[in-house]
Chains A and B, each alone.
Chain A
Amino acid sequence: MRGLQEVNNMVGIVSYGTYIPRYRIRLGDIAAAWKKQGDEVVSSLKVTEKSVPAADEDAVTIALEAALRALAASKGKPSDIEALFVGSESHPYAVNPTSTIVGELLGIGNNYLAADLEFACKAATAGMQAIAGLIASGQTRLGLAIGADTAQSKPHDVLEYTSAAAGAAYIMGEKKLIAELLAYTSYSSDTPDFWRRDGVQYPSHAGRFTGEPAYFAHVMGSATRLFEKTKTQPSDYQYCVFHMPNGRFPRDVARRLGFTEAQLAPSLIVDHIGNPYSASTLLGLAAVLDVALPRQKIFMVSYGSGAGSDGFVWETTKELGKRKDTVQDQIKNKTYIDYVQYLKQTHKI
């Protein structure tokens, strides 16, 4: 069947690393700047505050921080990395790869495949599937997939409440895996729910169209195929992770697919840091891996506008070791800024 891949050799996650900038702005403060009701915004989006990058951070520096942590956790050498894909909606250059700047700073050397990916919020998970294929084919032994964003949004637009910044990096391989990739699917269509034209600073979106025909159709499309392919159902999983554009959508889709609140809860980073676009799903996965035990199954479906969803089934192994710089550690390591400072740090003034 189209869209389904058979995993021949075992491929999975060797290590992971995440990075969340320390600055936060409360949604209430953004609302106040526009003379809106803070509690109304917070309750409708189910997000209280979002992460803001420092003025001198960008997708390159954030991708690098996450990758350094993934490398440190793997105890491997940078030169062992043979493929590096960076997915982002805020690559600093339209032409000039983020991946080679990061690769150079990591000290990978020259013998690797580097490419930048764009597919709204699912660019990095697409990168993971591509790397899985390279590893399964025997072409590559170790690959690094990174999702990093300093997401932009137009002031006074609804996206301003959730567009955030963070990075997540996954080293994938075939040996010493902390989580095995049991199956993956992808569901794609041409759906213009959210876009940004070349040379334009802020993205545009089609309002409520981003709901049912976009997010829900694709996440559920990919999820359904994944259940069929693996002949599983929600109760077979300990955890589920979905892309988190706000606090409502992942909760709704989890419920509609038949997952419980408990299965979803550890992944819900959106409540505290908002939506860091290409890092969203992968940060949710990291938050789960931070607390998971061996032999637990994780159901993960990302979403990128335009549109598509990548679905993954992971199973943790006994190699899951001690975790440093967990997602929760970083969520707690925060300092608040006001709206004016937010505008400065996101280069709007």
Chain B
Amino acid sequence: MLSPVKLWRNQKNVGGMLGRTGKIISWTIVRVPPADFSDQAPYPVVLVEFDGGGRVTAQLVDWDTKHLSVGQKIITIVRRIIKPNTEGVIPYGIKVKPL
């Protein structure tokens, strides 16, 4: 079970990263997922450069194949990071979607 304390401490940073725009600089599609992500596979993971500097690695959602290209504009949003087990606290975090 994910530590609620760790989630709480890290979730304080999530709000500040919302709504930032940038572009994809590299990408992959994960087809063999780790245990926690098995219900989401296959999913793209992208390396993004923000307008104004800084980079982040995040999952790309609401995508079509044409969005998997270097230079594609994206924006940061909040989604469930993984589907938690029935007892655990739900982790919300940053993903990106095409603009």
Contacts and interface: CB of A to CB of B under 8 A. Distances in A.
B2 to A, nearest CB: 14
Instruction: Give the most central of B15, B40, B61, B81: most A CB within 10 Å.
Output: B15
Contacts of A65: 77
Interface string B79-96: 111010000001010010
Contacts of B39: 55, 344, 347
Given A61-B79, A68-B18, A107-B16, A54 B92 contact: no
B14 interface: yes
A64 B78 contact: yes
Contacts of B77: 61, 65
A33 interface: no
A68 B14 contact: no
Given A56-B40, A61-B92, A106 B15 contact: yes
Taking chain B's interface residues, is the majority helix, strand, or loop, or is none over half, making it mixed? loop
A279 interface: no
B11 A54 contact: no
Given A54-B61, A56-B79, A105 B18 contact: yes
Contacts of B83: 55-56, 347
Contacts of A347: 39, 83
A243 to B, nearest CB: 28
B90 A105 contact: no
B4 to A, nearest CB: 10
A61 B80 contact: yes
Contact of A56 (B12, B15, B64, B80): B80
Interface string A23-46: 000000000000000000000000
B80 A58 contact: yes
B77 to A, nearest CB: 7
A54 B80 CA distance: 10
Contacts of B95: 56
A22 interface: yes
Interface in A278-306: none
Contacts of A93: 90
A269 to B, nearest CB: 20
Interface string B28-56: 00000000000110000000000000000
A326 to B, nearest CB: 17
Given A54-B61, A105-B14, 9 more contacts: A56-B61, A56-B79, A60-B90, A61-B78, A68-B19, A104-B11, A105-B18, A105-B78, A107-B15
28 contacts: A54-B61, A54-B79, A55-B83, A56-B40, A56-B61, A56-B79, A56-B81, A56-B83, A56-B95, A58-B80, A58-B90, A61-B77, A61-B78, A61-B79, A61-B92, A64-B78, A68-B18, A92-B90, A93-B90, A101-B92, A104-B11, A104-B12, A105-B15, A105-B18, A106-B15, A107-B15, A107-B16, A344-B39
Interface of A: 22, 54-58, 60-61, 64-65, 68, 92-93, 101, 104-107, 335, 344, 347
